Structure 1
Amino acid sequence: MAEQSSGAVTLRGALGTLTGPLRFLLLSSFLIPLGSFMVLPFMSVFLHERLGMGLGSVGVVLALASLVQFSGGVVGGALADRFGLRRIMVWALVIRTAGFVGLVAALRWPPLAVGALILTCCGAALYLPANKAYLVHGVDEVRRPAFLSAGNAALNAGMAVGPLIAGPFVLSSPGPLFVAVTALFAVVAVGHARLPAAGDVPRDAGTGPSGLLSGIAVLPFAANALAFYLYFHFQHYLAVYAVERASSEFYSVVLLVCFVLVIVVQPPASGLIRRAPYALALAVGFTALAGGLAVLAIGTRPALLAGGALITLGDVVLFLKNDLEALRRGPRSDAVVFGQQRLAAGLGACASGVVGGQLYGVGERAGDTGWFWLLAAAQCLLLPPLLLMLRRPAIAAPGGHDDKTKGTTPDDAHRRIPGR
């Protein structure tokens, strides 16, 4: 209890030091997922029912989209390191706006939908590493969990509200919905162009493939890939599963409960998560994922809510702890580290889309999809022990430094990120 209170004090203290630009960034961290989640959670249903794609094909499309959205973050982080955090965020939002314009056009020419979805994912790949790096720019290691969890809370608030707004309209009248989302992204892009520069002085180093991948903290990278692989069984296929057994509106309620849990639990628990031994955090997180996925197999409305809640508690621990460990162990700049973690997330989400889509399709044809969730739960227990094989130091980066000097004081962070 004392540790949780300590985490809450850290959060209050951190929020009290936020400047105007960072408050706008947190507002944007709400508005961007608000717009995205008015559309993206329903894409499996939209592609399957509105455009008539088979679930196997839908799985491949979602896998490709996830691979671009997450794995492209390693390129986004490197570009932010080279060209500046603000500049890359603006480019990313322009690209995402163009993607939603493509979704509007796809209502008249459906083949555009896949390309438009990939374009929005390209924008997301560029945006998030720069966004996170801007948020913790010059912040010491003790306050970083509070800043990151505040950003996560804003993001999850947008993710919670978006499906509630869009649920009744996404299949019946998607045109006005897509237009509204496009306008929202255009406005947010203009606001980002007015942010103060942070790291906007170009760099010459680290632009080649070795520059993108060197300095990876191996264990946090692998743990993040595995966590996203398992979590995205829930993210990709709950929509089809829940809509069949309840409705799109109830699916929106399940998402709302999950996102509210992140908002309520993660910020006050951020200090405790930071101090927890890494092995313990991984054990708690993967066990919660296993329990939640197993409960989903029951298929009732209470089971959908309870399963989503357990999965979210695992998500709260795993995703924040993996990022913090990667920042602590990795020798690269924050933007590059976040990009590398997004690469891990993309590899996991892509594998989940490809494997999960085929398996869910088999279950659907057999008339029983409950076993799909039990198989995912079993993997949560069987695969994490393999991570113990990866307990070794981070891959050395050219010109890197010992990770114990990274992020220890505001002055250290000030020196590490270019343009300050």
Structure 2
Amino acid sequence: MPLPAPATPSRSSIAVLLGTQTLFNIGFYAVVPFLAVVLVQDFLLASTAVGLILGIRTFAQQGLFLAGGALADRFGARAMILIGCAVRAAGFLTLAASLRGSTPVLWLFILGTLLTGFGGALFSPGLNILVAAAQSARDRKEARQVRRATLFAWLSITGEIGAVTGPLVGSALWGWGFPTVAGFGAAFFAAIGLFLAATLRRPAQAGAQDSAQAAEGKPRGSLRQCLGDRQFLAFCVLHAADLLAYNQLYLAIPLELERQDLATQWLGPIFAWISIVTLCLQLPVSWLAARIGAAATLRLGYILSASGFAVLAFMPPTAFGDGSSPVRILCAVTLMTLGHLSVHPTALGLVPKFAGQHPTGSYFGLLSSCGGLAVLLGNLLFGWLLVQTRDSGAPSFAPWLVLIIPLLLASWLGARVVKLRQHRGAGA
């Protein structure tokens, strides 16, 4: 007896999913960018300790995506999204409470940062599951192959809108103190949770994971299958180079500004430029990716990111003028951003194809967790090499090879893994 096809998600249900990403990023970026300032000004910590705490926070989110995805497979995407909202709201409340007393409480602040990370590890895989189910249902509806931007490309755009808006909201509240900023974040995520508790319950959300899995007969608990899929494991390890590369916008780029004796105030315009590039070019890049295919898109995207780091590694500042302007860095950042716009939605769109008849939560989680581990280890190696080259007089391009070589390997081998999987799927 054939299994019924899952209902095609309505435009309103898709709008809810995409809008949720905007709301998540508004609440996140209204608070998190100010954590480093609080650790320095209120807790009087050195930059090394600040970096360690924020690094642990990032790993608590990215590193635990696998656990969040597995839980979403077990208990449902909707449940984990709502629990994740509650955990992040509790994290922001804990951050606010750490500064409410006469003496700041560091352990409470660290606990709050960990909770904010863990909350993201719970709800982000769930949102990816719902978007993937909606994309699959939309693809089935097409009577012919329509090459257009995927929902994951739109997810990138809506997320960027939130990433731009959030810091503006946080800055507007900063005058009332960080506890007010963190309190706003807690209330905002609590409101998001209530909103999603109502909207994700509607029948129009039939493209969601639970109904889609039931309709397709997918077995629950795909963690074992995910970890045993050697091709997908290889893809996750190779694609981790993208998250490591994109994370350098927060590490390598500020350090390069400092090395070039450029004011740190340039960071604002640089991040504004990244947002402009993302909002203006994500859809055209995704339309092109739909036409040339996933393997070619991954190969080109990884090379673009590697080219951005090659500019910083091998081209002196004087190649772009007198070396007193950030043009060289803007050129590198543009290439890195275009690379990320190419490969990130493409990789997310490939996850359901790798998963096949298994639930996608563990697969999304493993993809992100590998990236989080790469960021943790890669940043440590990159920072150590920076110190070594400065102290020993080694070639200044050496640290950048930590970022360039993984991207080139991903370009060469990642596309091959995807082609092999596509051929295997076609022959099945």
Q: Same fold (TM over 0.5)?
A: yes
Q: Where in structure 2 are the equivalents of 1:5-404 lying within 5 Å? A: 18-48=10-40, 50-107=42-99, 108-140=104-136, 141=139, 145-167=149-171, 173-197=177-201, 198-200=208-210, 207=221, 210=224, 213-215=227-229, 217-236=232-251, 238=253, 245-247=262-264, 250-278=266-294, 280-293=296-309, 298=317, 300-331=325-356, 332-358=358-384, 362=387, 374-375=397-398, 377-387=400-410, 388=412, 391=416, 403-404=425-426
3-state SS, counterpart of residue 194 of structure 1: helix
Distance in structure 1 (CA, Å) of the matches to 2:255 and 2:400: 18
Identity within the alignment, %: 21
Distance in structure 2 (CA, Å) of the matches to 1:358 and 1:113: 28
Distance in structure 2 (CA, Å) of the matches to 1:208 and 1:25: 23
Distance in structure 2 (CA, Å) of the matches to 1:327 and 1:267: 21
Check conservation: 1:96, 1:124, Cα contact below 8 A: yes
**Structure possessing the higher radius of gyration over alpha carbons:** 2
Give the letter for the 1:329 counterpart: F
**Residues 177 and 295 (structure 1), Cα distance of their counterparts in 2 relative to 1, 3 Å cut:** farther
Distance in structure 1 (CA, Å) of the matches to 2:253 and 2:173: 19
Distance in structure 2 (CA, Å) of the matches to 1:99 and 1:405: 48
> Aligned residue for 1:412?
none
Check conservation: 1:224, 1:345, Cα contact below 8 A: yes
Instruction: For residue 21 of structure 1, report the CA deviation from its aligned partner.
Output: 3.1
Instruction: For residue 279 of structure 1, report the CA deviation from its aligned partner.
Output: 5.1
**Residues 364 and 65 (structure 1), Cα distance of their counterparts in 2 relative to 1, 3 Å cut:** farther
3-state SS, counterpart of residue 133 of structure 2: coil
RMSD (CA atoms): 3.8
Can you list the C-alpha shifts for 1:26-70, whole angstroms capped at 9, x where unaligned?
A: 222112111211232344454345533333333333332222211
Matched residue count: 380
Check conservation: 1:234, 1:293, Cα contact below 8 A: no
**Residues 164 and 290 (structure 1), Cα distance of their counterparts in 2 relative to 1, 3 Å cut:** farther
Can you list the C-alpha shifts for 1:154-186, whole angstroms capped at 9, x where unaligned?
A: 001111222344357769932322222222111
Can you list the C-alpha shifts for 1:272-325, whole angstroms capped at 9, x where unaligned?
A: 224435554344323332343455685844444443322211110121222233
Instruction: For residue 220 of structure 1, report the CA deviation from its aligned partner.
Output: 2.6
Check conservation: 1:290, 1:378, Cα contact below 8 A: no
Give the letter for the 1:308 counterpart: V
Give the letter for the 1:231 counterpart: Y
Can you list the C-alpha shifts for 1:220-252, whole angstroms capped at 9, x where unaligned?
A: 31222121122222234545766994356x533
3-state SS, counterpart of residue 135 of structure 2: coil
Check conservation: 1:35, 1:184, Cα contact below 8 A: yes
Which range moves more in the overlay, 180-189 or 224-233? 224-233
Distance in structure 1 (CA, Å) of the matches to 2:361 and 2:16: 19
Give the letter for the 2:279 counterpart: I
**Residues 209 and 54 (structure 1), Cα distance of their counterparts in 2 relative to 1, 3 Å cut:** farther
**Residues 97 and 335 (structure 1), Cα distance of their counterparts in 2 relative to 1, 3 Å cut:** same
TM-score (norm 1): 0.76
Gaps of 5+ in 1: 1-15, 397-401, 407-420
Can you list the C-alpha shifts for 1:337-379, whole angstroms capped at 9, x where unaligned?
A: 222211222122222343345556x38997x9x95xx545433
Give the letter for the 1:222 counterpart: V
Instruction: For residue 100 of structure 1, report the CA deviation from its aligned partner.
Output: 0.8
Instruction: For residue 134 of structure 1, report the CA deviation from its aligned partner.
Output: 1.1
Distance in structure 2 (CA, Å) of the matches to 1:123 and 1:63: 16
Which range moves more in the overlay, 62-71 or 116-125? 62-71
> Aligned residue for 1:413?
none
3-state SS, counterpart of residue 333 of structure 1: coil
> Aligned residue for 2:142?
none
Distance in structure 1 (CA, Å) of the matches to 2:30 and 2:153: 23
Check conservation: 2:152, 2:349, Cα contact below 8 A: no
Instruction: For residue 188 of structure 1, report the CA deviation from its aligned partner.
Output: 0.6
**Residues 282 and 147 (structure 1), Cα distance of their counterparts in 2 relative to 1, 3 Å cut:** closer
Give the letter for the 2:341 counterpart: V
Check conservation: 2:385, 2:399, Cα contact below 8 A: no
**Residues 281 and 19 (structure 1), Cα distance of their counterparts in 2 relative to 1, 3 Å cut:** closer
3-state SS, counterpart of residue 199 of structure 2: coil
Distance in structure 2 (CA, Å) of the matches to 1:375 and 1:170: 40
Distance in structure 1 (CA, Å) of the matches to 2:94 and 2:373: 26
Check conservation: 2:73, 2:222, Cα contact below 8 A: no
Give the letter for the 2:250 counterpart: Q
Distance in structure 2 (CA, Å) of the matches to 1:405 and 1:158: 42
